[in-house]
């Protein structure tokens, strides 16, 4: 069953049509990758799902309910959590304080502490750096913190916008391993990536976005073997 469904979504920036009626779905338990070049509309898609930018037409259905009219801040409480492009952790706060902010839907202090401990077990680098100021973490560590913070709300679906951006190959590998672990632990994942090869290698299915339109979809393994995708996105 689809946990998230995007139907014929159109988004404009002024007169520019950034999304030209895109439709896709993410089933419960899947990792779905949305791949595409710079400017294809990946971030716009994520932001319109999370209600951070207005939708011109079409709709987003989450867990059977149209969420077009629900304010963005309520979506976290409903089980949706996003890690935005560029990580955006609170630079002046410590790792611990950043994680604490991810728990704003949880009121039970003991539970919050347990959840932080769980995140620090999953991300030992964060555990070792609980009192470090987030702005002094490396790019990869900040990405981990952004993911850890998003996971604090125990989302049913995690939306990740370019988690590999600007990271060294070692960290990219680590981040993708964590995404797979999060998925295995039961969280559904929508993964937006320019690193098509990595994204498709962990995904169940994929969609290819080109200038605001979905031009191809299929099982991730089939997309990895598709000649036109290999040429355009996989550098083969």
In the complex, the residues that contact ligand ATP under the rule CB under 6 A are 13, 16, 18, 36, 38-44, 194
Decide whether 41 or 102 has the Cβ nearer to ligand ATP: 41
Helix (H) or strand (E) holding 57: strand 57-62
Question: Contact 133/93 with Cβ under 8 angstroms?
Answer: yes
CB of 212 to ligand ATP, least distance (A): 7
Least distance to ligand ATP, CB of residue 16, Å: 6
Give least dist CB 125 to ligand ATP, A.
26
**Measured from the CB atom, is 64 or 235 closer to ligand ATP?**
235
Residue whose CB is less far from ligand ATP, 42 or 149: 42
Q: Which of 124, 128, 161 has the alpha carbon at shortest distance from 48? A: 161
Q: Least distance to ligand ATP from the beta carbon of 62, Å?
A: 20
Q: By C-beta, is 39 or 166 nearer to ligand ATP?
A: 39
Output DSSP code: residue 134.
G
Tokens of 103: 């728990």
Whole-angstrom Cα distance, residue 154 to residue 168? 28
How far is 115 from 6, CA to CA, in rounded Å?
31
């Amino acid at each position: 069953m689809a946990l998230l469904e995007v139907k014929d979504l159109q988004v404009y920036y002024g007169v520019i049509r950034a999304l030209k009626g895109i439709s896709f779905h993410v089933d419960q338990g899947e990792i779905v990758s949305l791949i595409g070049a710079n400017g294809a509309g990946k971030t716009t898609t994520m932001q319109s799902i999370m209600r951070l930018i207005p939708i011109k037409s079409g709709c987003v259905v989450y867990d059977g309910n149209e969420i077009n009219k629900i304010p963005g801040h309520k979506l976290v409480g409903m089980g949706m959590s996003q890690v935005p492009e560029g990580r955006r952790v609170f630079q002046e706060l410590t790792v611990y304080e950043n994680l604490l902010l991810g728990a704003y839907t949880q009121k039970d202090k003991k539970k919050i502490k347990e959840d932080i401990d769980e995140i620090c077990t999953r991300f030992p680098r964060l555990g070792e750096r609980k009192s470090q100021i987030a702005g002094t973490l490396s790019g990869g560590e900040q990405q981990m913190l952004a993911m850890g913070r998003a996971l604090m709300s125990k989302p049913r679906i995690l939306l990740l916008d370019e988690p590999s951006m600007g990271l060294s190959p070692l960290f990219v590998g680590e981040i993708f391993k964590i995404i797979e672990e999060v998925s295995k632990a039961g969280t559904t994942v929508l993964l937006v990536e320019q690193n098509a090869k990595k994204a498709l290698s962990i995904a169940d299915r994929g969609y290819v976005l080109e200038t605001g339109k979905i031009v191809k979809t299929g099982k991730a393994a089939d997309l990895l073997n598709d000649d036109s995708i290999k040429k355009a996105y996989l550098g083969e």
